[in-house]
Structure 1
Amino acid sequence: MGFFNRSYVYQILATNTASISLLIAGCWIAWPSVMIKRLSDENPDLENIGIRLNKYQVSWMVSLLDLGNAISPIFAGILVEKIGRKSALLLNALLCMPTWFLVISKQIPCLYIARFFIGISKGVAYTAMPIFIGEISEHNIRGTLGSIPSGFQMVGTLAILLVGNHVSYNSLNIALSLLPVIFFLLFMMVPETPHFYAAKNNLKRTEKSLKWYRGKKKDVAEEMKSIVEKTQEDLKSKSGYLELLTNESNRRAFTLVMAASLFQRLGGITSMITYSSTLLPKLDNAYFGPDQCILVFMVIMFLSNFLQAPLMDILGRKPLSCFSAALGCLLTFSTGLFYLYQTELSNYQYIPYVTTLLYAGSYYGIGCLPNILVSELFPINVRCQASSCASVALAFGSFVTTKFHILITKSLGQHVIFFIYSSVHLCSVVFNYFYLMETKQKTLAEIQEKLNKRTRNKK
């Protein structure tokens, strides 16, 4: 069945609506790219913003988002489990609403608080989204739907890069404060997942939710029976974070997800988006420079996300992630070589532009892998805990790279940081090739059976 089969309409609609929460996060990720120059104490305050930041304050301003992101998923997992996936995302929207106004308060501590709180919000969204999508989607399109949130995050990032340099500091922040309100009003109309209702033993709402997501004309009796039986069976097992490590099949799944999350972010994607506009070499061409490059970078990432999304369900998770990581390794190593021999290559300043843009096109396979694996590999009794841990790993990777990227480049040179990123991608290739389990076209029950079978075979 094709992706645009009529029975998939409400699953696609719900996924796109929920993904607005990551569009908001994408806006905040790109925000420093257009604001660092305006806020830096190295440049005059032409807009009378009233805030001047030195390089250490800039690094904290950028990385505090990821610090908040790293802290929040633990309690976010509890929230998602207790009040539901939908309610957690709605509550998250309320958390986002005041942050843009903190930014225009002309106080550095308020700027820090806003970035930290939006990091908390991002952690909640990253925890809830994979669970929400995994529980509403049919197995034939789960991989494709799982890639949509990252596309929305890129839309948010791209939007800031497109308009951020052309509007005032205050106007941009006030306009963006409307996004959480829009998300809240739209997502109110989307039902909770059938798995959550099944976990609460509310069969009437389970059926109603499932019929909404599958279309009223589709017979859901067999699927509902499978969901209820599997959910109740899983809930008989122990839950909690310790169960991720003590249960062997959960431990295998946990290792796969944590590795995919750390490799993705320690590969440098967040710091590339954040700092490329200030660190790429200037070109003689007056029409194309660092600002234009990062804009094209996000356009390529956005297009490749949607053009390659069906490949997750056609080629599979393993081949696509290995290919993506291998290309990332080659391109970041090439970028490092350029910066190492930049003096000798003074006539070839366009090289890091080419490698950076090619990296954007190669990122998809490793970019959406963590969210897809979180939605597929865990039984419901530990799904929220697993998603929380993955969010922490993603945030930790982003925090490390955004905090130390600019400090390493200033003290050791740009080539060092790109060689580090290349090494991370190489480790990702090796790990995915030997250890990643293929899950394409399998139901959640079939994946659990495969994990348990591998565990029994090892014994």
Structure 2
Amino acid sequence: MKLIICSIDVSSPYFFQYFATFAGAFSILTSGINLGWTSPFLPGLLSPNSSIPTTNDEGSWCAIAPLLGAPLGALIAALLVDRIGRKKTILLTAPWVSFCFIGIAFSQTIWQITGLRFIIGSVEGALYTALPMYVGEISDPKIREFLTSTIAIAAIAGTLFINIIGSFLNIFQSSLICSLVPLVHLVWFLLVPESPYYFIKKGDFEAAKKSLQMLRAKTDVDDEVDSIAKAVVRQERSRAAGLLDLFTVRSNRRACLIFVIVCLTNKFSGKNPCMFYTEMIFEEAGSGNLDPTLSVIIYCSVELLAVTITTLFVINRFGKRFLLITSSAGCSLSVLVLATFFFLKDFDFDTSYIFWLPITALVSYNVMFSIGLSFGMVTVLSELFPTNVKAKALCIADTFSVLMGAIVSKLFQISIDLAGSMAYPFLFFALCCCLGCFLIVRVMPETKGKTLEEIQQLLIGQDQYSSELRHRQVAFVNNNAILI
């Protein structure tokens, strides 16, 4: 199979799409850093000789602080993306993250760190609202799945990065290094064009044409601009859509259902607890002579490798639906094995001869999660919703996602404290993955190779879609798209 990345060169028609996506995805590195921050540093904060005394309860609030902050950022981004544009909204996030990491470097209490992680979490909420929208709108259908999945790669790379530098640097040193990441993103992202969908939504046909000319690396883009304009005008329905349109319009309702199923399967597979408490899980498992920190780095490295290989070689061949089904089924089996290990350990069976099982199960879980569930939510959000409700949908979706992640992570800590075992939450995660797999089989359509408008046609249904087209046509007057 020809490697898609090989087509990235300056003369390629996809070059600026790759560049814009990679520049945007670089901002998600800070999301991975922030979410994975507790893995290398929380065990030290919880230790008796910690320079910043922290209780288990305080540590759990610190772990989920980014998730609690995300809804605020998602709401702000939803208000901004259709007013100032996707690009400017994304650019505004960089200074906040840089200042917060500098603040963490000089923090003296766990609550200061928690508050700053909350703010970074708000920025993450804004990014996960604006960036999937931007990437989905600038992408050619042939490479859209690859481009949207790079967001997941960046998040995993950030988690691996903080675990590596956190293993030999302290909070002060690592935080100052991390404060430079959003500044790099800021410089790169200044060079990319705004989404043509945003310009057409604002009625600026000429700006949309220039944006597409840069993104497609050609001058003849009139047909695509016309196609996008028709799609935007049809989706806008000549009026501002209300929040209730997400639930009263059949196609939007179906898109919401698909997202909820993929999101709940993602969150209740146990990903966030595994990310926040990876080192603690390995310590609890007592995995022989394997150093917990080294185990975490192996765990994250395998995930990054698996997502990268899937993105480059697999996703364009098999499509998201098949990968989501395979991923959820594999995750269910992997965490079931992990739960079984902890049950054996709880009942005093000799687990010394299977000391390798926890890291094997977690690495297997990581691989299976990486081939589908890791990027499933982002790609679904970038594709399924029409422009008239997209900002609202992504805001609500990100809020729902992080709240579910926070609930799962907090329940994980509470269940361990009450039951004194990791076996029960992992058994619960296995059952949730199994149920999620069944529901994805029932409701998830395949969108591989389809344009955003073709996906809407799939959700709406052929008869209703044809009826809408018969009653709506588009014309351009003074370079503005209007409904006639």
User: How high is the TM-score relative to the length of structure 2?
Assistant: 0.90
Of 270, 282, 289, the match for 2:286: 282
How far did 1:64 drift?
A: 1.2
The equivalent of 1:428 in structure 2 is 436
How far, CA to CA, are the matches of 2:43 and 2:256 in structure 1? Answer: 40
SS of 1:98's equivalent in the other structure is: helix
Of 297, 303, 306, the match for 2:305: 303
How far, CA to CA, are the matches of 2:463 and 2:89 in structure 1? Answer: 33
How far did 1:293 drift?
A: 1.6
Change (3 A) 1:167 1:2: closer
Of 339, 344, 347, the match for 2:349: 344
Of 15, 20, 32, the match for 1:26: 32
How far, CA to CA, are the matches of 1:296 and 1:109 in structure 2? Answer: 30
- Residue 216 of structure 2 is aligned to residue 209 of structure 1: no
SS of 2:405's equivalent in the other structure is: helix
How far did 1:455 drift?
A: 8.6
Letter in 2 for 1:442: K
How far did 1:428 drift?
A: 1.1
How far, CA to CA, are the matches of 1:51 and 1:65 in structure 2? Answer: 20
The equivalent of 2:178 in structure 1 is 176
The equivalent of 2:111 in structure 1 is 109
How far, CA to CA, are the matches of 1:393 and 1:308 in structure 2? Answer: 27
**Alpha-carbon contact 1:86-1:191 (below 8 Å) kept:** yes
Number of residue pairs aligned between Structure 1 and Structure 2: 449
- Residue 453 of structure 2 is aligned to residue 445 of structure 1: yes
Of 131, 136, 153, the match for 2:133: 131
Letter in 1 for 2:388: N
**Alpha-carbon contact 1:154-1:301 (below 8 Å) kept:** yes
The equivalent of 1:377 in structure 2 is 384
The equivalent of 1:148 in structure 2 is 150
- Residue 401 of structure 2 is aligned to residue 397 of structure 1: no
Letter in 1 for 2:367: G
- Residue 331 of structure 2 is aligned to residue 328 of structure 1: yes
How far, CA to CA, are the matches of 2:462 and 2:332 in structure 1? Answer: 30
How far, CA to CA, are the matches of 2:459 and 2:175 in structure 1? Answer: 46
Change (3 A) 1:455 1:67: farther
C-alpha RMSD over aligned residues? 1.7
SS of 1:35's equivalent in the other structure is: helix
Deviates more, 1:206-215 or 1:345-354: 345-354
Q: 1:92-137, CA deviations, whole angstroms, 9 ceiling, x for partnerless residues? A: 1122122112222213332121011011011001111110110000
Query: Which ranges of 4 or more aligned residues in structure 1 deviate by more than 6 Å?
Result: none
Deviates more, 1:397-406 or 1:248-257: 397-406
How far, CA to CA, are the matches of 1:233 and 1:429 in structure 2? Answer: 34
User: How high is the TM-score relative to the length of structure 1?
Assistant: 0.94
Q: Structure 1: where are the runs of 5+ without partners?
A: none
How far, CA to CA, are the matches of 1:265 and 1:59 in structure 2? Answer: 17
The equivalent of 2:65 in structure 1 is 64
Deviates more, 1:331-340 or 1:344-353: 344-353
Deviates more, 1:360-369 or 1:396-405: 396-405
How far, CA to CA, are the matches of 1:52 and 1:177 in structure 2? Answer: 24
**Alpha-carbon contact 2:67-2:406 (below 8 Å) kept:** yes
Q: 1:295-336, CA deviations, whole angstroms, 9 ceiling, x for partnerless residues? A: 111111111111111422221111110000000001111111
**Alpha-carbon contact 1:10-1:214 (below 8 Å) kept:** yes
How far, CA to CA, are the matches of 2:448 and 2:38 in structure 1? Answer: 37
- Residue 358 of structure 2 is aligned to residue 366 of structure 1: no
The equivalent of 2:470 in structure 1 is none
Deviates more, 1:326-335 or 1:276-285: 276-285
How far did 1:270 drift?
A: 1.3
How far, CA to CA, are the matches of 1:416 and 1:59 in structure 2? Answer: 18
Deviates more, 1:77-86 or 1:134-143: 77-86
Change (3 A) 1:237 1:139: farther
